Amino acid sequence: MIAEVAAQEQSGSIARVLRIMARNKELRRVELAFATFNVAEWGTWLAMLVYAYAHGGVTAAGVLATAMLVPAAVGAPPLAAFGERYPPGRVLIAGYLGQAVSCAVVAAAMLAGAPRLAVYALLVLPSVAFTVTRPTQSAFAPGLARLPDELAATNVVSSWIEGVSTLGGPLLVGVVLTVSTPGVVFGVGAAICAVAALLVVPARDAMAAPVSVGDDVASDSPSLGGSVAFVRREPNARTLVLLLGAQAVALGALDILYVELARGVLHLGGNWAGYLNAAFGLGSVLAIGLTARLVGHPRLALPLVLSLAGWTVGLFGLSATPALALSLVLIATAGGARSIFDVTARTLLQRVARPDLLARVLGLLEGLEMAGLAVGSLLATALFALGGAAAAFAGVGALLPLVALSAGRRLLDIDRHATAPVVEVALLRSVPMLSLLPPPTLESLARALIPEDAPAGVEVVTQGDEGDRFYVIADGEADVIADETIVATLHRGDGFGEIALMYDVPRTATVRTRTHVQLYALERDNFLVALTGHLPAQTLAQGLASERLAELEALRASRAPASAD
């Protein structure tokens, strides 16, 4: 009975996450593109390792992985910074196209029998191109989400996608390599990345480029050094970035050890490296029900610690060189633990990072993860040389618990105070008159927002009434009606009500909902204090308000009866 109740709760949690995602078509398209990207990334990565192993064993695979990942680690932060300068949807498309082209080039070289060193050099191109997607998408998602639950659901769905793709990508490699070569895998990867670019096209302009506010952090160079300087000043963000970087070290080591486990320990074919990795993905898939229950969960430290325990059990078990069946179970255990760890740590990072710097922080994380994969590859190679596969699995298994222990009580402190309203900040930044406000002011306003729901046909404000609030639409459409004439239609990211507040006059127009509308209200004093405390934003707001007043006066003049001669 208890098991049945637990299964029903997990099923209900999964259904709730899917319902949340179903109501936002832009997030759905972006997540579907992310799924295709993950399959391509995992597939091409494993194909590269199999190619290198065939030409030089574990050492060649480890050295090549490092050679590929170092440029990716250095290039990730500045590439992620493009999401701060240009519309992130367009940056995301450019990244997918770059991945498609670079994979196609590698496929052509492999299939043409190009020299091994030439192929190794070309492999750097997709490894760098793949670093664009995760930080750009993570910074893009708050601008696409209508409500905080949508962002939380997006994080969970992204984790599911990572897990399913970790299963699908290696399976694809295993099947293709059974009948073909690594070059074909790269060709398939190129096609998949092109499909991802097409999926994002309709959402490419859903979020404008962030506005530079000219504060001390905004002036930092969007380089590796500038990103490191910011995270060094933020101890909570630093702790989470280091934990996720340590996870990448373990993943990089596993990528190398899968090949050795398949061929050197279990004495199976090279295609089994893909199947063993697929077991890791299967564990992530099986953990879907658990990660679904994390949506909206206020405390994440406990699931994070438990996931670390799962990692440790899985990897230490593999150090005992078990039989094939038990190896698959242990790898699946580690995969499920990794999925829960990733959701909790990344969600906490989104909560603690300043929303306007999210792309930069995630770009640094992507770079550190690439470096972590490289370090993991070398670590696995070194541990294998010292004590064989058993020593390598034991050493990797001890890594994450040691890093977590070094964080001490800070994890609990982060869990108690990680409440940054990233969705609300992204919404406010899309309102032109508020976009110039400094990040601390925007975050303060975001915390003061009052969520409201209005069905179709409701007057949110009425012409002639006293003004007491400023409103921002999160989802839906509303008509602006002046003197019984529709003068404009408002959509997500549009604000209204500022004229009555700024000029202390009655409402100049009625705003009536055309569809069901989700919106946020901001009390008069909060709105005015924020604007009057920042001259550029105040000047912009006054200019926009004056334009709206002039449009209303022109409308009234056009409808006034002509005077007699």
What percent of the chain is modeled with pLDDT above 90?
Answer: 10
**Structural contact between residues 135 and 359, judged by C-beta atoms closer than 8 angstroms:** yes
More confident residue, 521 or 327: 521
Q: Which of 124-138, 214-228, 293-307 bottoms out in mean pLDDT, i.e. has the lowest? A: 214-228
Average pLDDT over residues 364-385: 81
| Cα 544 to the center of its chain, rounded Å | 33
The answer, yes or no, to whether residue 9 has pLDDT greater than 60, is no
Alpha carbon distance 140, 352 (integer Å): 17
Res 221 pLDDT > 50: no
In a domain, 73, yes or no: yes
The answer, yes or no, to whether residue 106 has pLDDT greater than 60, is yes
Same domain assignment for residues 304 and 435: no
pLDDT of residue 256: 77
pLDDT tens track for 378-405: 888 888 888 887 888 888 888 878 887 7
Are 432 and 414 found together in one domain?
no
* pLDDT above 70: percentage of residues in the chain: 79
Is 391 among the domain residues? yes
Q: What is the CATH number of the domain that holds 543?
A: 2.60.120.10
Contact 427, 484 (CB under 8 A): no
Between residues 227 and 90, the one the model is more confident about: 90
Mean residue pLDDT across the chain: 77
Q: Which two tokens stand for residue 107?
A: 């496929």
- The answer to the question of residue 212 being in a domain is no
3-state secondary structure of 206: coil
Decide if 1 is inside a domain. no
- Is residue 268 pLDDT above 70, yes or no? yes
Residue 15 has pLDDT above 50, yes or no: yes
Both 298 and 437 in a single domain? no
403 and 433 inside one domain: no
pLDDT of res. 440: 58
Q: Are residues 47 and 192 in the same domain?
A: yes
Q: Does the pLDDT value for residue 426 go beyond 60?
A: yes
* Of 537 and 219, the one with more pLDDT: 537
Q: Looking at the structure, tell me whether residues 60 and 16 fall in a common domain.
A: yes
In this structure, is residue 39 part of a structural domain? yes
Q: State which residues form the domain around 42.
A: 6-206+225-420
Of 370, 389, 420, the domain-final residue: 420
Instruction: Write down which residue in 366, 396, 420 finishes a domain.
Output: 420
Q: Are 91 and 132 in contact (CB under 8 A)?
A: yes
One-character DSSP codes across 474-532: EES-EEEEETTEEEEEE-TT-EE-HHHHHHT---SSEEEESS-EEEEEEEHHHHHHHHH
Q: Are residues 386 and 432 in the same domain?
A: no
- Looking at the structure, tell me whether residues 332 and 443 fall in a common domain: no
CB 128 within 8 A of CB 355: no
Q: What is the DSSP string of 293-353?
A: TTTT-S--HHHHHHHHHHHHHHHHHHTT---HHHHHHHHHHHHHHHHHHHHHHHHHHHHHS
The H-or-E segment that residue 451 falls in is strand 450-454
Residue 547: is its pLDDT beyond 80? no
Same domain (yes/no): 144, 40: yes
pLDDT at 512 over 80: yes
Each residue's pLDDT tens digit, 432-481: 877 777 665 676 678 788 888 999 999 999 988 888 899 999 888 999 98
> Which amino acid would we find at residue 439?
P
16/89 same-domain check = yes
460 and 412 within one domain:
no
Using one digit for the tens of pLDDT, what is the confidence trace for 191-205?
A: 999 999 999 888 776
pLDDT at 214 over 50: no
Q: Do residues 209 and 85 make contact, with C-beta atoms less than 8 angstroms apart?
A: yes
Domain boundary residue among 420, 455, 478? 420
- Residue 398 domain-assigned (yes or no): yes
pTM exceeding 0.85: no
**Domain CATH code at residue 233:** 1.20.1250.20
Q: Does residue 74 belong to any structural domain of this protein?
A: yes
Q: Is 565 a member of any domain?
A: no
Amino acid 563: pLDDT: 46
Question: Does the structure show a pLDDT above 70 at 12?
Answer: no
Pick from 43, 441, 431, 86: nearest CA to 273:
43
Assigned token pair, 270: 């090279």
Q: How many domains does the chain have?
A: 2
What is the rounded average pLDDT of the residues 88-116?
A: 90
Amino acid at 375: V
What tens digit of pLDDT does each residue of 25-80 get? 888 888 889 988 988 888 888 888 888 877 777 677 767 777 777 777 777 777 76
Same domain (yes/no): 375, 457:
no
User: What mean pLDDT is predicted for residues 283-287?
Assistant: 80
